[in-house]
Amino acid sequence: MAAKHLDTNNNSPEAHSCLEEVEVRGHIIDSLILPKVLDCITTAGGSFQIKHITVGQNRTDPSSAVIEIRAENDVALQKIVAQVSDHGATVTSSCDCELVVADVDGAFPEGFYSTTNQRTEIKRNDTWHAVAHQEMDCGITVDPNTSQARCIAMSDVQQGMPIVVGHSGTRVFPLERTEQDHAFGFMSSPVSTEKPKGVMIRQIARQLFDNRAGSGKTLLVGGPAIVHTGSGSLICDLIRDGYVHKLFAGNALATHDIEQSLFGTSLGVNVDQGDLVDAGHEHHLRAINRIRRAGSIANAVEQDILQSGIMYECVKNKIEFQLAGSIRDDGPLPDVVTDALENQGRMRASIGDVTFCLMIATTLHSIAVGNLLPAWVNVVCVDINPSTVIKLSDRGSFQTVGLVTDVEPFLRSLLAEIRRLEQSEHST
């Protein structure tokens, strides 16, 4: 179906004298991209006229629409164009992207293009080029000789770098509903306490199982509640059996895990019996001190100081781990990196091959990692507090789906589902 010059304007053209024409393509109807674009325009005080629309007849057929946007002045118009471009709207008169050389280290030029976590391209010499290392809240730098483009964090900008400014010559490819919901199609909203947990746990188990069997990589982002709830042994099983390929955590998870290994306690509480141990409040410091004397967690494993636990299994199974520090850390452990920007760089370098991310009981680490992941990486966040998942979605990690539950029963059920898949595989 095609229609031309469909006027859906609530304001007179005379009131909005500045105009720009944009186009959206793809599954713009069933993925709600077109309504989002139109809502952005009117919410920002602009008006629109649909100049042309083509609606695909079959489920797999793409649709397209050309929309004329009007605003009171050029500043307001550019703000609207910036908003709708995040949903894949491209200026039809698009020329090459504009590059401005960074004049200082650690800062973008004014008017820089701010990225989303969705696949993006820039136009150079009338050719579209994919932007590498896609990440939200970054800028884009372009090699003027090869036109290769990549996302760059503000702190990594160096004087003389060409930086994309404005939205001309840029386009975004929103993650469409048919693609986004492929792995977790039963999820209709990011988080709810009433979703069927069994169904979701089976889906997570399947994702972990498929990643182990194929080329996918699973990242576990974990908080200290894993240890506090007595779930450390379940994570150890997942690591030993090849279902976890990378671990991002903080000083707390590693410290409490090592404390449990050395003293049987977590923050002085006996993990098996749940009672306080005399002088148990000292155990986490004594655990840190013992590892610091060894020089590293790996050294402690090699010297038989550390003989069990999550960190032990990471070392023995050659699982990459990144431990990020915080202002409240005791010690910290010698493997903990205390520089926040260095941690960001290390995590960026590590997530390139991640295809699935499981976040368990950690708000700050979950949000931090969510900010780094591109939109096409499936993310599941498990937490007793639903606000963790809500914050992730609010900050742009819209691909995150959440499971509100205690850590221990979740991990026990997850491991049971994995064992069922393993038995099914062996029986065929």
Contacts for 75 with CB less than 8 Å, ≥ 6 apart: none
Q: What is the pLDDT of residue 272?
A: 67
Span of 21-25, 95-99, 156-160, 238-242 with lowest mean pLDDT: 21-25
pLDDT at 176 over 70: no
Highest mean pLDDT among 85-89, 187-191, 237-241, 272-276: 237-241
At 191 the pLDDT is 55
Specify the range with the lowest mean pLDDT, choosing from 141-155, 166-180, 273-287.
166-180
The CA-CA-CA angle for residues 351, 366, 167, to 5°, reads 65
pLDDT score recorded for residue 279: 65
- pLDDT band at 400; cut points 50, 70, 90: confident
pLDDT at residue 331 above 80? yes
CB 414 within 8 A of CB 393: no
Lowest mean pLDDT, pick from 3-7, 67-71, 157-161, 250-254: 3-7
Question: Which span out of 17-26, 71-80, 172-181, 340-349 was modeled with the highest average pLDDT?
Answer: 340-349
- Say what the alpha-carbon torsion angle 196, 200, 205, 208 is, to the nearest 10 degrees: -170
- Cβ count within 10 A of residue 359: 28
Residues 213-267: tens digit of each pLDDT:
998 999 999 999 999 899 999 999 999 999 999 999 999 999 999 999 999 988 7
Rg (CA), the chain: 25
The CA distance from 357 to 218, in Å, is: 6
pLDDT recorded at residue 4: 38
The per-residue pLDDT for 321 is 98
Token code pair at residue 20: 């720009």
Residue 187: which pLDDT band, with cuts at 50, 70 and 90? very low
Tell me, what's the pLDDT at 20?
82
Q: How far, in Å, CA of 119 to CA of 135, rounded?
A: 9
Residue 77 has pLDDT above 70, yes or no: yes
The SS3 assignment for 49 reads strand
DSSP 294-330: HSSHHHHHHTTS--SSHHHHHHHTT-EEEEE--TT-S
Give the pLDDT confidence score for residue 221 in this predicted structure: 98
Domains of the chain: residue spans and CATH: 1-93 (3.30.70.2690), 94-173 (2.40.420.10), 186-427 (3.40.50.10690)
Q: What is the pLDDT of residue 253?
A: 96
Per-residue pLDDT at 368 exceeds 80 = yes
